Structure 1
Amino acid sequence: MNLYQNLGYLVLGSRLRRLSEAFLAEINRAYQNEGIDFDASWFPVFYLLSKNEALSIKELSEQIEVSHPAASQLITNLKNRKLVTSATCTDDGRRQLVTLTESGRELLATILPMWDAISTAMTELVESDELAKQLLPAITGLETAFRQANLAEVISQKLITDLKPTHHE
């Protein structure tokens, strides 16, 4: 076992980030290998816009579970690449509705087969290992547990109740 495996939950975030970065690097390399100018970080926005004609930045941020500023920054990046556009909503001037541009729709048509290939390749990879098969259900379980508990508060309570120093008289 390596250092990360030995330290258990103390390095859970680091392990998940390392796994995520390695996975996204491989996905981006697959896009590059096919000559497709697409970044895996754009996937949630492209996926949602493939299923919806237009969405507000607020709707996008809620559905991809990132802050409004983070979603706004991603949309700005995609606008600068002329892949999405935004327009003021006719019934609410405060809302910006985001849609794919013609270039964005062309890119979407190009990447749809990649999404199928990624899904199939990952399914085959995971099916070859019993522990790997449990990854997605385990992540779902952990996400649910985090939503149901205030981890920082639980840790504080552990310091107060479970780890209180005992005084010997």
Structure 2
Amino acid sequence: MKDFALELGCLGFTMRLKRLADALIQDGKRMYKELGVDIEPNWYVIFRLLKREGEMSVTEISERIGMAHPSVIALTNKMMKAGYLSSNQCTDDSRRRLLNLSDKALEALPQLEEIWNAGERGVINALEGTNTMEILSLIEQRFSEKGFRERTIEELNKNS
């Protein structure tokens, strides 16, 4: 059967990125379950950021990883429920909560980092001989300079 997303060419671009991301996340979930690790695949970025930077607010995390604030709240709430994050009220602003890795997270980090390092090597192996990461950076840069909406409207105006 033909892959319609491939047939769409550039119009299938976002669908193919989403499909790839979904496949990697689902495979990651199966891997963690198989390894007996009770985390979700997209938590690693929060673990790594908080390990490196220490206590941070949700807004700071959101800005550093380039994810929408509500998405970061959803991730961190799940991590807190699983016991991997602790939360403290900011002394300067009681509306802000500051997140830290919990003792459970710190205890789990050596095993998690071993898994993540192996995953990184696996991705490097899969991408060997390509310049995928450079191309991805270029795509991100170009769409941050001028987004899809602006580019599409520009093209529509060319034909007017």
TM-score by length of 2: 0.90
Distance in 2 (alpha carbons) for counterparts of 1:68 and 1:24: 20
Q: Aligned-pair distance for 1:52? A: 2.1
Instruction: Give the fraction of aligned pairs with identical amino acids, expressed as a percent.
Output: 26
Distance in 2 (alpha carbons) for counterparts of 1:28 and 1:135: 24
Distance in 1 (alpha carbons) for counterparts of 2:114 and 2:63: 27
- Which residue in 2 is equivalent to 1:150? 147
Q: Any residues of structure 2 matched to 1:122-161 within 5 Å, and which? A: 122-127=123-128, 130=129, 133-161=130-158
Q: Do residues 89 (structure 1) and 86 (structure 2) align?
A: no
Task: Structure 2: state its 5+ residue gaps.
Answer: none
What do residues 71-121 of structure 1 show as CA deviations (whole Å, max 9, x unaligned)?
122211111112111111223333211011111212222201001100111
Aligned residue pairs, count? 159
Task: Structure 1: state its 5+ residue gaps.
Answer: 165-169
Distance in 2 (alpha carbons) for counterparts of 1:98 and 1:139: 30
Distance in 2 (alpha carbons) for counterparts of 1:71 and 1:125: 28
Contact 1:84 1:99 in 2 (8 A): yes
Distance in 1 (alpha carbons) for counterparts of 2:12 and 2:72: 27
Q: Aligned-pair distance for 1:150? A: 3.1
Secondary structure of 1:36 counterpart = coil
TM-score by length of 1: 0.86
Distance in 2 (alpha carbons) for counterparts of 1:142 and 1:72: 27
- Which residue in 1 is equivalent to 2:55? 54
Distance in 2 (alpha carbons) for counterparts of 1:84 and 1:120: 27
Contact 1:50 1:108 in 2 (8 A): no
Q: Aligned-pair distance for 1:154? A: 2.2
Give 4+ residue runs of structure 1 displaced > 6 Å after superposition. Answer: none
Secondary structure of 2:66 counterpart = coil
Secondary structure of 1:98 counterpart = strand
Q: Do residues 79 (structure 1) and 80 (structure 2) align?
A: yes
Instruction: Please tell me the root mean square deviation across aligned C-alpha atoms, in Å.
Output: 1.6
- Quick one: structure 1 residues 53 and 154, their matched pair in 2 at CA, closer, same or farther if it must change by over 3 Å? closer
- Which residue in 2 is equivalent to 1:69? 70
Secondary structure of 2:141 counterpart = helix
Contact 1:84 1:98 in 2 (8 A): yes
